[in-house]
Structure 1
Amino acid sequence: MKFDIIIAGVGGQGVVLASRLLATAAMDAGYHVATAETIGMAQREGSVTSHVRIGEDVCGSLIPHGKADLLIGLEPAEAARNILFLGKDGNMLVNEHAIMPSTQGFDEYDPETILKFLKDSCPQTITADFTGLARDAGTYKAANVAMIAAAAGAGLLPFSEEYLWGVLEKMIPEKYREVNRRVFDNAIESVSGKSEKSGKEANEAK
Protein backbone atom coordinates (compact mmCIF):
# COMPACT_ATOMS: atom_id res chain seq x y z
CA MET A 1 0.00 0.00 0.00
CA LYS A 2 1.16 3.51 -0.83
CA PHE A 3 -0.70 6.75 -0.05
CA ASP A 4 0.76 10.19 -0.72
CA ILE A 5 -0.51 13.45 0.80
CA ILE A 6 0.44 17.06 -0.01
CA ILE A 7 -0.41 19.72 2.59
CA ALA A 8 -0.11 23.27 1.27
CA GLY A 9 -0.54 26.58 3.01
CA VAL A 10 1.32 29.65 4.22
CA GLY A 11 3.49 30.34 7.22
CA GLY A 12 1.49 30.60 10.43
CA GLN A 13 -1.25 28.13 9.39
CA GLY A 14 0.35 25.08 10.98
CA VAL A 15 1.17 23.14 7.81
CA VAL A 16 4.16 21.35 9.35
CA LEU A 17 2.21 20.51 12.51
CA ALA A 18 -0.60 19.05 10.40
CA SER A 19 1.87 16.85 8.53
CA ARG A 20 3.39 15.63 11.81
CA LEU A 21 -0.06 14.80 13.18
CA LEU A 22 -0.91 12.82 10.06
CA ALA A 23 2.46 11.06 10.03
CA THR A 24 2.27 10.09 13.70
CA ALA A 25 -1.31 8.86 13.34
CA ALA A 26 -0.30 6.76 10.33
CA MET A 27 2.58 5.24 12.29
CA ASP A 28 0.25 4.48 15.19
CA ALA A 29 -1.99 2.72 12.66
CA GLY A 30 0.97 0.51 11.70
CA TYR A 31 2.18 2.18 8.50
CA HIS A 32 5.67 3.17 7.43
CA VAL A 33 5.89 6.97 6.87
CA ALA A 34 8.30 9.41 5.22
CA THR A 35 7.89 13.20 5.37
CA ALA A 36 9.53 16.31 3.95
CA GLU A 37 8.85 20.05 3.82
CA THR A 38 9.54 22.70 1.23
CA ILE A 39 9.40 26.20 2.66
CA GLY A 40 9.31 29.44 0.67
CA MET A 41 10.04 32.86 2.11
CA ALA A 42 11.33 32.60 5.66
CA GLN A 43 8.55 34.74 7.04
CA ARG A 44 4.93 34.55 8.08
CA GLU A 45 2.63 34.04 5.06
CA GLY A 46 5.38 32.55 2.89
CA SER A 47 4.48 29.33 1.04
CA VAL A 48 4.86 26.08 2.98
CA THR A 49 4.34 22.60 1.51
CA SER A 50 4.60 19.29 3.37
CA HIS A 51 4.87 15.86 1.79
CA VAL A 52 3.54 12.87 3.74
CA ARG A 53 4.18 9.46 2.20
CA ILE A 54 2.49 6.45 3.79
CA GLY A 55 3.12 2.78 3.03
CA GLU A 56 5.81 0.19 2.46
CA ASP A 57 6.29 1.04 -1.22
CA VAL A 58 7.51 4.60 -0.56
CA CYS A 59 10.67 5.55 -2.43
CA GLY A 60 12.03 8.92 -1.31
CA SER A 61 10.39 11.54 0.89
CA LEU A 62 9.25 13.95 -1.86
CA ILE A 63 6.11 13.14 -3.84
CA PRO A 64 6.61 13.27 -7.63
CA HIS A 65 4.33 15.46 -9.73
CA GLY A 66 1.03 13.76 -10.58
CA LYS A 67 1.30 11.13 -7.85
CA ALA A 68 -0.43 12.56 -4.75
CA ASP A 69 -3.59 10.78 -3.62
CA LEU A 70 -4.76 13.73 -1.54
CA LEU A 71 -4.07 17.46 -1.56
CA ILE A 72 -5.02 19.36 1.60
CA GLY A 73 -4.98 23.09 0.85
CA LEU A 74 -5.11 25.32 3.92
CA GLU A 75 -5.30 28.31 1.56
CA PRO A 76 -6.87 28.38 -1.94
CA ALA A 77 -3.95 29.91 -3.87
CA GLU A 78 -1.50 27.50 -2.25
CA ALA A 79 -3.74 24.57 -3.22
CA ALA A 80 -3.69 25.84 -6.83
CA ARG A 81 0.07 26.31 -6.67
CA ASN A 82 0.52 22.66 -5.72
CA ILE A 83 -2.17 21.05 -7.90
CA LEU A 84 0.51 19.68 -10.24
CA PHE A 85 1.32 17.12 -7.52
CA LEU A 86 -2.21 15.66 -7.54
CA GLY A 87 -2.81 12.36 -9.33
CA LYS A 88 -5.61 12.08 -11.88
CA ASP A 89 -7.75 10.07 -9.44
CA GLY A 90 -6.74 12.10 -6.40
CA ASN A 91 -8.93 14.11 -4.04
CA MET A 92 -8.67 17.66 -2.73
CA LEU A 93 -9.79 19.23 0.51
CA VAL A 94 -9.51 23.03 0.38
CA ASN A 95 -10.04 25.79 2.93
CA GLU A 96 -12.16 28.58 1.40
CA HIS A 97 -10.60 31.15 3.75
CA ALA A 98 -8.10 33.15 1.69
CA ILE A 99 -5.01 34.93 2.97
CA MET A 100 -4.13 37.86 0.76
CA PRO A 101 -0.46 37.94 -0.33
CA SER A 102 1.67 40.30 1.73
CA THR A 103 3.31 41.78 -1.39
CA GLN A 104 2.44 45.46 -1.59
CA GLY A 105 0.47 46.50 -4.64
CA PHE A 106 -0.95 43.01 -5.23
CA ASP A 107 -4.62 43.50 -6.08
CA GLU A 108 -5.43 40.63 -8.48
CA TYR A 109 -6.10 37.81 -6.03
CA ASP A 110 -9.64 36.50 -6.62
CA PRO A 111 -10.29 33.52 -4.29
CA GLU A 112 -13.61 32.63 -5.95
CA THR A 113 -11.93 32.24 -9.33
CA ILE A 114 -9.24 30.04 -7.79
CA LEU A 115 -11.81 27.85 -6.02
CA LYS A 116 -13.70 27.41 -9.29
CA PHE A 117 -10.47 26.43 -11.03
CA LEU A 118 -9.76 23.84 -8.33
CA LYS A 119 -13.24 22.33 -8.56
CA ASP A 120 -13.08 22.25 -12.35
CA SER A 121 -9.67 20.60 -12.21
CA CYS A 122 -10.70 18.00 -9.64
CA PRO A 123 -14.43 17.20 -9.37
CA GLN A 124 -13.71 15.29 -6.13
CA THR A 125 -12.77 18.55 -4.40
CA ILE A 126 -14.38 19.32 -1.04
CA THR A 127 -14.29 22.96 0.06
CA ALA A 128 -15.44 24.72 3.22
CA ASP A 129 -14.47 27.67 5.39
CA PHE A 130 -12.49 25.59 7.87
CA THR A 131 -11.01 28.71 9.47
CA GLY A 132 -14.53 29.95 10.20
CA LEU A 133 -15.55 26.52 11.47
CA ALA A 134 -12.60 26.49 13.87
CA ARG A 135 -13.31 30.07 14.97
CA ASP A 136 -16.94 29.23 15.69
CA ALA A 137 -15.81 26.26 17.78
CA GLY A 138 -13.54 28.47 19.85
CA THR A 139 -10.23 29.13 18.08
CA TYR A 140 -9.47 30.06 14.47
CA LYS A 141 -5.90 28.83 15.04
CA ALA A 142 -7.12 25.23 14.85
CA ALA A 143 -8.08 25.36 11.15
CA ASN A 144 -5.30 22.83 10.47
CA VAL A 145 -6.88 20.47 13.01
CA ALA A 146 -10.27 21.00 11.37
CA MET A 147 -8.89 20.09 7.97
CA ILE A 148 -7.14 16.87 8.91
CA ALA A 149 -10.22 15.84 10.92
CA ALA A 150 -12.37 16.57 7.87
CA ALA A 151 -10.07 14.48 5.69
CA ALA A 152 -10.57 11.54 8.05
CA GLY A 153 -14.31 12.17 8.37
CA ALA A 154 -14.71 12.21 4.58
CA GLY A 155 -12.93 8.87 4.30
CA LEU A 156 -9.96 10.35 2.44
CA LEU A 157 -7.25 8.86 4.69
CA PRO A 158 -6.04 5.25 4.93
CA PHE A 159 -6.70 5.18 8.69
CA SER A 160 -9.58 6.20 10.95
CA GLU A 161 -10.18 9.43 12.82
CA GLU A 162 -9.56 7.66 16.15
CA TYR A 163 -5.83 7.50 15.38
CA LEU A 164 -5.76 11.22 14.65
CA TRP A 165 -7.52 12.16 17.86
CA GLY A 166 -5.27 9.81 19.81
CA VAL A 167 -2.24 11.78 18.60
CA LEU A 168 -3.90 15.15 19.19
CA GLU A 169 -4.91 14.19 22.71
CA LYS A 170 -1.29 13.43 23.56
CA MET A 171 0.17 16.51 21.86
CA ILE A 172 -2.28 19.24 22.88
CA PRO A 173 -1.91 20.79 26.36
CA GLU A 174 -4.88 19.92 28.57
CA LYS A 175 -6.18 23.51 28.71
CA TYR A 176 -6.63 23.52 24.90
CA ARG A 177 -7.92 19.97 24.55
CA GLU A 178 -11.63 20.71 24.93
CA VAL A 179 -11.76 23.42 22.24
CA ASN A 180 -9.71 21.29 19.85
CA ARG A 181 -12.10 18.42 20.43
CA ARG A 182 -15.00 20.68 19.42
CA VAL A 183 -13.13 21.74 16.28
CA PHE A 184 -12.32 18.10 15.51
CA ASP A 185 -15.90 16.86 15.93
CA ASN A 186 -17.49 19.81 14.11
CA ALA A 187 -15.15 19.35 11.14
CA ILE A 188 -16.03 15.68 10.82
CA GLU A 189 -19.73 16.49 11.00
CA SER A 190 -19.33 19.22 8.34
CA VAL A 191 -18.10 16.75 5.70
CA SER A 192 -20.39 13.86 6.52
CA GLY A 193 -21.59 12.43 3.22
CA LYS A 194 -19.63 14.92 1.11
CA SER A 195 -17.07 12.37 -0.10
CA GLU A 196 -19.79 10.13 -1.52
CA LYS A 197 -21.45 13.14 -3.20
CA SER A 198 -18.17 14.29 -4.72
CA GLY A 199 -17.40 10.81 -5.99
CA LYS A 200 -20.84 10.51 -7.57
CA GLU A 201 -20.51 13.91 -9.25
CA ALA A 202 -17.06 12.94 -10.56
CA ASN A 203 -18.43 9.71 -12.07
CA GLU A 204 -21.32 11.58 -13.69
CA ALA A 205 -18.89 14.07 -15.20
CA LYS A 206 -16.88 11.32 -16.93
Structure 2
Amino acid sequence: MKFDILIAGVGGQGVVLASRLLATAAMDAGLHVTTAETIGMAQREGSVTSHVRIGDEVCGSLIPSGNADLVIGLEPAEAARNIHFLGMNGSIVVNEHAVMPSVNGSVKYDPDQVLEFLKSNCQDIISIDFTQLAKQAGTYRAANVAMLAAASGADLIPFPPGDMWNVLEKMVPEKYRDVNRRAFDMALEKVSGIKNPEQAIDI
Protein backbone atom coordinates (compact mmCIF):
# COMPACT_ATOMS: atom_id res chain seq x y z
CA MET A 1 0.00 0.00 0.00
CA LYS A 2 1.29 3.47 -0.90
CA PHE A 3 -0.53 6.78 -0.69
CA ASP A 4 1.03 10.21 -1.21
CA ILE A 5 -0.57 13.50 -0.14
CA LEU A 6 0.78 16.95 -0.96
CA ILE A 7 -0.61 19.80 1.17
CA ALA A 8 -0.01 23.34 -0.09
CA GLY A 9 -0.91 26.74 1.33
CA VAL A 10 0.56 29.87 2.83
CA GLY A 11 1.88 30.65 6.27
CA GLY A 12 -0.80 30.75 8.94
CA GLN A 13 -3.25 28.39 7.22
CA GLY A 14 -2.27 25.29 9.18
CA VAL A 15 -0.49 23.26 6.49
CA VAL A 16 1.91 21.67 8.96
CA LEU A 17 -0.86 20.86 11.45
CA ALA A 18 -2.86 19.17 8.67
CA SER A 19 0.13 17.03 7.77
CA ARG A 20 0.65 16.05 11.40
CA LEU A 21 -2.99 15.05 11.73
CA LEU A 22 -2.73 12.83 8.65
CA ALA A 23 0.56 11.35 9.82
CA THR A 24 -0.93 10.56 13.23
CA ALA A 25 -3.96 8.93 11.59
CA ALA A 26 -1.58 6.75 9.56
CA MET A 27 0.43 5.74 12.63
CA ASP A 28 -2.74 4.98 14.59
CA ALA A 29 -3.74 2.67 11.72
CA GLY A 30 -0.41 0.88 11.99
CA LEU A 31 0.93 2.30 8.72
CA HIS A 32 4.41 3.55 7.96
CA VAL A 33 4.50 7.30 7.27
CA THR A 34 7.09 9.94 6.45
CA THR A 35 6.58 13.70 6.25
CA ALA A 36 8.61 16.65 5.03
CA GLU A 37 7.82 20.36 5.06
CA THR A 38 9.05 23.34 3.11
CA ILE A 39 8.03 26.34 5.15
CA GLY A 40 10.12 29.12 3.60
CA MET A 41 8.82 32.56 4.63
CA ALA A 42 5.77 31.09 6.33
CA GLN A 43 5.32 33.93 8.78
CA ARG A 44 5.04 36.38 5.89
CA GLU A 45 2.31 34.43 4.11
CA GLY A 46 4.91 32.72 1.98
CA SER A 47 4.41 29.34 0.35
CA VAL A 48 4.22 26.31 2.63
CA THR A 49 4.13 22.72 1.40
CA SER A 50 4.04 19.44 3.24
CA HIS A 51 4.60 15.97 1.84
CA VAL A 52 2.84 13.08 3.58
CA ARG A 53 3.86 9.64 2.31
CA ILE A 54 2.02 6.61 3.68
CA GLY A 55 2.87 2.93 3.19
CA ASP A 56 5.69 0.41 3.30
CA GLU A 57 6.57 1.03 -0.35
CA VAL A 58 7.55 4.64 0.32
CA CYS A 59 11.15 5.53 -0.52
CA GLY A 60 12.19 9.00 0.58
CA SER A 61 10.27 11.81 2.26
CA LEU A 62 9.54 13.95 -0.81
CA ILE A 63 6.84 13.01 -3.31
CA PRO A 64 8.25 12.74 -6.83
CA SER A 65 6.62 14.92 -9.47
CA GLY A 66 3.52 13.26 -10.94
CA ASN A 67 3.07 10.81 -8.05
CA ALA A 68 0.70 12.44 -5.54
CA ASP A 69 -2.61 10.64 -5.02
CA LEU A 70 -4.10 13.79 -3.50
CA VAL A 71 -3.27 17.48 -3.48
CA ILE A 72 -4.90 19.49 -0.70
CA GLY A 73 -4.71 23.17 -1.62
CA LEU A 74 -5.52 25.50 1.25
CA GLU A 75 -5.14 28.36 -1.23
CA PRO A 76 -5.91 28.22 -4.99
CA ALA A 77 -2.64 29.62 -6.33
CA GLU A 78 -0.62 27.33 -4.08
CA ALA A 79 -2.60 24.33 -5.34
CA ALA A 80 -1.88 25.40 -8.93
CA ARG A 81 1.79 25.99 -8.12
CA ASN A 82 2.09 22.39 -6.93
CA ILE A 83 -0.16 20.65 -9.46
CA HIS A 84 2.90 19.08 -11.11
CA PHE A 85 3.04 16.73 -8.11
CA LEU A 86 -0.41 15.33 -8.93
CA GLY A 87 -0.54 11.81 -10.36
CA MET A 88 -2.51 10.91 -13.47
CA ASN A 89 -5.43 9.52 -11.44
CA GLY A 90 -4.98 11.87 -8.50
CA SER A 91 -7.56 14.11 -6.83
CA ILE A 92 -7.61 17.68 -5.56
CA VAL A 93 -9.37 19.28 -2.61
CA VAL A 94 -9.04 23.06 -2.93
CA ASN A 95 -10.11 25.98 -0.79
CA GLU A 96 -11.66 28.63 -3.04
CA HIS A 97 -10.70 31.41 -0.62
CA ALA A 98 -7.70 33.25 -2.05
CA VAL A 99 -4.97 34.92 -0.04
CA MET A 100 -4.01 37.93 -2.12
CA PRO A 101 -0.27 38.60 -2.42
CA SER A 102 0.96 41.36 -0.11
CA VAL A 103 3.42 42.72 -2.65
CA ASN A 104 2.53 44.87 -5.62
CA GLY A 105 3.32 43.54 -9.08
CA SER A 106 2.36 43.73 -12.71
CA VAL A 107 0.70 40.30 -12.72
CA LYS A 108 -2.90 40.30 -11.53
CA TYR A 109 -4.01 37.36 -9.39
CA ASP A 110 -7.41 36.15 -10.60
CA PRO A 111 -8.57 33.35 -8.23
CA ASP A 112 -11.45 32.34 -10.53
CA GLN A 113 -9.03 31.82 -13.39
CA VAL A 114 -6.78 29.73 -11.17
CA LEU A 115 -9.71 27.57 -10.06
CA GLU A 116 -10.72 27.03 -13.69
CA PHE A 117 -7.15 25.96 -14.44
CA LEU A 118 -7.27 23.41 -11.62
CA LYS A 119 -10.62 22.03 -12.76
CA SER A 120 -9.42 21.71 -16.34
CA ASN A 121 -6.38 19.75 -15.20
CA CYS A 122 -8.01 17.40 -12.69
CA GLN A 123 -11.19 15.42 -13.19
CA ASP A 124 -11.64 14.58 -9.51
CA ILE A 125 -11.74 17.88 -7.65
CA ILE A 126 -13.67 19.21 -4.69
CA SER A 127 -13.78 23.01 -4.77
CA ILE A 128 -15.38 24.76 -1.78
CA ASP A 129 -14.82 28.02 0.11
CA PHE A 130 -13.63 26.20 3.21
CA THR A 131 -12.64 29.46 4.90
CA GLN A 132 -16.22 30.73 4.72
CA LEU A 133 -17.50 27.35 5.92
CA ALA A 134 -15.12 27.48 8.87
CA LYS A 135 -16.22 31.04 9.67
CA GLN A 136 -19.80 29.81 9.80
CA ALA A 137 -18.67 27.12 12.22
CA GLY A 138 -17.03 29.72 14.45
CA THR A 139 -13.49 30.43 13.22
CA TYR A 140 -11.76 30.68 9.86
CA ARG A 141 -8.79 28.87 11.42
CA ALA A 142 -10.68 25.57 11.19
CA ALA A 143 -10.58 25.58 7.37
CA ASN A 144 -7.75 23.01 7.36
CA VAL A 145 -9.80 20.69 9.58
CA ALA A 146 -12.82 21.12 7.30
CA MET A 147 -10.70 20.18 4.29
CA LEU A 148 -9.48 16.99 5.94
CA ALA A 149 -13.08 16.12 6.79
CA ALA A 150 -14.14 16.68 3.17
CA ALA A 151 -11.29 14.53 1.86
CA SER A 152 -12.19 11.77 4.31
CA GLY A 153 -15.92 12.01 3.64
CA ALA A 154 -15.33 11.72 -0.12
CA ASP A 155 -13.04 8.69 0.31
CA LEU A 156 -10.03 10.62 -1.01
CA ILE A 157 -7.78 9.59 1.89
CA PRO A 158 -7.37 6.12 3.39
CA PHE A 159 -9.01 7.08 6.71
CA PRO A 160 -12.77 7.18 7.38
CA PRO A 161 -14.24 10.29 9.04
CA GLY A 162 -14.55 8.56 12.42
CA ASP A 163 -10.86 7.74 12.50
CA MET A 164 -9.91 11.25 11.42
CA TRP A 165 -12.04 12.81 14.15
CA ASN A 166 -10.49 10.52 16.77
CA VAL A 167 -7.10 11.94 15.82
CA LEU A 168 -8.39 15.50 15.86
CA GLU A 169 -9.99 15.00 19.24
CA LYS A 170 -6.63 13.94 20.66
CA MET A 171 -4.58 16.71 19.06
CA VAL A 172 -6.86 19.75 19.17
CA PRO A 173 -6.87 21.59 22.54
CA GLU A 174 -10.14 21.13 24.41
CA LYS A 175 -11.13 24.81 24.21
CA TYR A 176 -11.06 24.62 20.38
CA ARG A 177 -12.62 21.18 20.06
CA ASP A 178 -16.27 22.21 19.70
CA VAL A 179 -15.67 24.72 16.91
CA ASN A 180 -13.47 22.26 15.06
CA ARG A 181 -16.16 19.60 15.44
CA ARG A 182 -18.70 21.95 13.89
CA ALA A 183 -16.40 22.69 10.95
CA PHE A 184 -15.68 18.98 10.55
CA ASP A 185 -19.37 18.04 10.49
CA MET A 186 -20.30 20.90 8.16
CA ALA A 187 -17.66 19.79 5.66
CA LEU A 188 -18.88 16.20 5.85
CA GLU A 189 -22.39 17.40 5.11
CA LYS A 190 -21.13 19.29 2.04
CA VAL A 191 -19.66 16.15 0.52
CA SER A 192 -22.26 13.68 1.82
CA GLY A 193 -23.12 11.08 -0.75
CA ILE A 194 -20.01 11.82 -2.82
CA LYS A 195 -17.77 8.80 -3.21
CA ASN A 196 -14.80 8.86 -5.57
CA PRO A 197 -16.09 11.92 -7.48
CA GLU A 198 -15.85 11.74 -11.25
CA GLN A 199 -16.27 15.44 -11.90
CA ALA A 200 -15.66 18.78 -10.28
CA ILE A 201 -17.78 19.52 -7.23
CA ASP A 202 -18.22 23.27 -6.90
CA ILE A 203 -20.18 24.31 -3.81
**What's the TM-score bracket when you normalise by the shorter of the two chains?**
over 0.9
Opposite residue 96 of structure 2, the aligned amino acid is E
CA contact (8 A) 2:15 2:144 kept: yes
- Which residue of structure 2 lines up, in the alignment, with residue 28 of structure 1? 28
- Which residue of structure 2 lines up, in the alignment, with residue 46 of structure 1? 46
Opposite residue 117 of structure 2, the aligned amino acid is F
Residue deviations 1:42-68, cap 9 Å, x none?
533100000000001000000000000
Opposite residue 49 of structure 2, the aligned amino acid is T
Q: Which runs of 4+ in 1 moved over 4 A?
A: none
Residue deviations 1:156-206, cap 9 Å, x none?
01121222111111112212111111111111111123444x32x48xxxx
- Which residue of structure 2 lines up, in the alignment, with residue 125 of structure 1? 125
Q: CA deviation at 1:107?
A: 5.5
Is residue 77 of structure 1 aligned with residue 80 of structure 2? no
CA contact (8 A) 2:97 2:130 kept: yes
Structure 1, unaligned runs of 5 or more = none
CA contact (8 A) 2:10 2:42 kept: no
**RMSD (CA atoms):** 1.3
Opposite residue 55 of structure 1, the aligned amino acid is G
SS at match of 2:69: strand
Is residue 165 of structure 1 aligned with residue 165 of structure 2? yes
TM-score by length of 1: 0.93
- Which residue of structure 2 lines up, in the alignment, with residue 64 of structure 1? 64
Opposite residue 147 of structure 2, the aligned amino acid is M
- Percent sequence identity is 71
SS at match of 2:92: strand
CA contact (8 A) 1:126 1:195 kept: no
- Which residue of structure 1 lines up, in the alignment, with residue 14 of structure 2? 14
Residue deviations 1:17-60, cap 9 Å, x none?
00000110111112110000112325331000000000010000
> Would you say how many aligned residue pairs link Structure 1 and Structure 2?
200
SS at match of 1:43: helix
